[in-house]
Structure 1
């Protein structure tokens, strides 16, 4: 197993695409999704899901709700809606949680990739443009750093 991140109370390990959580966090813990290259965070406050400087506002905070072993719904804390893939199979949007929608279900891999179950594509910084307001999309795995993200806890667990 490879440690994904460590906080005061929680240690998350990933092995075979399954996230193991130890500690006292619940599904209500909040997380940032940060680009490993730019250190900008995934933000849902603009018309498109995009990269922004961290400011701590709720559109930048996400919950990871279990769907099944190793698979999660990624829920925006501001809207309560799930990160979803649009009909074009590229664009991201936020939708009402639909437990039957595989386009709302995600693997978080140990290599920093966040893979959508429904379209088998990774979160990706469009055009590898690591600047503020650059959209986040899904794209086939290409091994590029534009597909590497860190999921980091924002709020201390009780």
Structure 2
């Protein structure tokens, strides 16, 4: 069953810009770094960038979040979700607990934003190498924060 998700950008002035997207509840997605072509991999407790090999830890499902425009990103292999650690830096795969640190929205320019702290998913140090962990960081305009979400059937390698 398809559901439509308003992908929103929240500004400090309470202005919201939404771009509507559609995700299938049972579909699997890759989250790919635009500059490097590496994908998010949930093989370990710390999510990292890896070359696409098609294994389950690199496939993700998008579930409706607590509010319209928010979603939870669930790893296909572990069932754990993208989460932000208590120090607000390292992105971890943990069990779903319903907190805003596990809620995300997609900025209209292809950046994944954590709803709990308003920081963007970021490739640590801008180093596009396999195994490099992900962090959250304030928007800095770098390519390390550019990601594309594609359904598995259309991803290719």
**Common fold, TM-score beyond 0.5?**
yes
Q: How large is the RMSD of aligned CA atoms in angstroms?
A: 2.3
Q: Contact 1:29–1:155 at 8 Å: present in 2 too?
A: no
TM-score (structure 2 length as normaliser): 0.84
Q: How many matched pairs?
A: 144
Task: Report runs of 4+ in structure 1 exceeding 2 Å deviation.
Answer: 11-20
- CA distance in 2 between partners of 1:12 and 1:84 (Å): 20
How far apart are 1:81 and its partner, in Å? 0.9
Residue matched to 1:86: 85
TM-score (structure 1 length as normaliser): 0.83
How far apart are 1:69 and its partner, in Å? 1.4
Are positions 1:35 and 2:33 aligned together? yes
Q: Deviations over 1:125-150 (max 9, x none)?
A: 00000011111111111111100000
Are positions 1:96 and 2:70 aligned together? no
1:117 to 87, 109, 115: 115
How far apart are 1:84 and its partner, in Å? 0.4
Residue matched to 1:69: 68
Query: Which sections of structure 2, spanning at least 5 residues, go unmatched?
Result: 9-16
Query: Which sections of structure 1, spanning at least 5 residues, go unmatched?
Result: 1-8
